[in-house]
Structure 1
């Protein structure tokens, strides 16, 4: 990843009577604009996300979506839908006086990136989509009904253990009831179980342990001296609050309990969106691809992504054959797995250069631009190239 650089600006933007967004800007203030859309919903952004972009070339915008991170109010579900977030992106773009920006999103961030791009194609210079999620019913069912549970039966059994037997065939509504209850203990317990299930499936690692039955209970047996938990530790580090500083021991999920406030917000937001199928019509984003096929796009997906199956990326690419599809054969869902990280870095480098192909003005269907508009476009490209030439010393 690129070197860490301090943010060059930050601020708050009031986007409704209820919600205020927090944003930070990294990199070159005169560089190509890019915005990073975090996952979840509700996971929030961290400075590390800016390191997927070359800070000498890009002006990178990170922001926390409604109800999470440093945006307020935390965990608020009111006025919190996909289309509210799409509107927020446009408000933020205009507030920052950005003409067009490269949009990178991962997991839920892909859902939001596609929704935003289809609503405002003229504001998007390119798309980088990691871990494709379009919140179709089959995708939601895979993770919370029938699919992933067949691969991880022990983890699934643990998830269901906090529910009453009659609730276990309809997991999302059962968790929503707990995550929105006034009972703090029940809410925390539900959030812990919800995120433990999600986090446990986010990384693809070759495990050097075996699970065995000792006659009384299941136990884990190590097959080597040491076992690396760096990916899980990294994920936890990124959700750390002041209450966890100085804590140096405990399992990943024990650590999560100590910072339940931001994680409860994330679990609430995820459950809220999944219960409502992302506030989308079935397959809406797949059907809307025709609106954005002219936009350069790189799709990166792990072959062993257990959260968002690789079929999601296949389906999107079938509808969008112009997009570049990169399947990382030894990776799962996380952007921090080596192969995924490398492909994302390659994508930001590939889309960093202004190219006429990025606009792909289509005249095959009766013409969609005037000569004056075409001339303005070419002039703008020339000016951008001149500015970059000057910034780089003519080399």
Structure 2
């Protein structure tokens, strides 16, 4: 069973101004002369972590990580009043990615994205197919309404009723039959911290409680950390309210643009956050895609079967 590569530190890092008052944190590690790869974190609003560097062979890859607008070490942080979500959309992030590629002098890069990072990778690759060498997608999502409603409309609640009750706790009883994404929008942007902070923690905790095949207390606690929770809850809710600024089925309908780009889909069979239906449907329309359904895994990238397949894929693509 493959495991993460050893811990590694960046050999370069910095802040990239991308307009609208935003600056992105970026870093590079591994081999400066190696095959370029960019890691796209989830959320939206999650941020990168040191263990994300370890998905790639540092001898063979030039590994680029960055924090998307509003999260991680990018500024302004989504938990602050200075963060303007009006200039934080899918297409802003696609433009940021292209600006980062140009700034780092990379002609073509491999993309590895999971969950929301999968959506961003597909949106970028369909706009700039000639800039992508390979796609590695985990926890496959396309941000269709049915996908969002599964997680925030009561579908996943059937499997996690006790966690769902905690998600509903900040919602007034009379509003629980309404569109919860809209209800949460009001809660998350309420001026009183005694309203928006518990709402943010409840929103983020729901994801933390469903992301692993077997719930992990440390993961739940990390999702409930107040500053992280406020940023990810506000940014996710903002994106989900607007359908990611994508036409319904857009990423599936335009998958033909990716013909000729090797693509591997790694999907947990028991993924509650992004169920396997989307990975299956994408594999049917994405030319030449490999689909690997991992039978004993949920959503998280570091579950053993998913990690084994991801690293096996990046190792294989490193030889191309």
Q: Could you state the TM-score of these two structures normalised by the residue count of structure 1?
A: 0.77
The partner residue of 2:14 within 11, 14, 34 is: 11
Post-superposition offset of 1:196: 1.3
Post-superposition offset of 1:308: 0.4
1:220 is aligned to none
Please say if 1:197 is aligned against 2:206. yes
The partner residue of 1:132 within 140, 144, 169 is: 140
Please say if 1:93 is aligned against 2:59. no
Give a deviation string over 1:42-92, Cα, whole Å, max 9, x none. 000012101000000000000000000110111121300000000000000
Counterpart CA distance in 1 for 2:150 and 2:20 is: 36
Flag structure 2 segments of 5+ consecutive residues without an equivalent.
Answer: none
Structure 2 counterparts to residues 89-168 of structure 1, below 5 A: 89-168=97-176
1:84 is aligned to 92
DSSP-derived class of the 1:15 partner:
strand
Higher relative contact order (CA 8 A, sep 6+): 2
2:269 is aligned to 303
Please say if 1:73 is aligned against 2:76. yes
Counterpart CA distance in 1 for 2:124 and 2:147 is: 20
2:43 is aligned to 40
Larger radius of gyration: 1
Question: After TM superposition, which residue ranges in structure 1, 4 or more long, deviate above 6 angstroms?
Answer: none
Structure 2 counterparts to residues 310-349 of structure 1, below 5 A: 310-349=276-315
Counterpart CA distance in 1 for 2:189 and 2:27 is: 30
1:27 is aligned to 30
1:277 is aligned to 243
Post-superposition offset of 1:157: 2.1
DSSP-derived class of the 2:136 partner:
strand
Structure 2 counterparts to residues 181-196 of structure 1, below 5 A: 181-196=190-205
DSSP-derived class of the 1:351 partner:
helix
Post-superposition offset of 1:256: 5.3
Q: Could you state the TM-score of these two structures normalised by the residue count of structure 2?
A: 0.94
Counterpart CA distance in 2 for 1:151 and 1:105 is: 26
2:230 is aligned to 264
Post-superposition offset of 1:232: 4.3
Number of corresponding residues: 311
**Coordinate RMSD, CA, aligned:** 1.3
Post-superposition offset of 1:321: 4.8
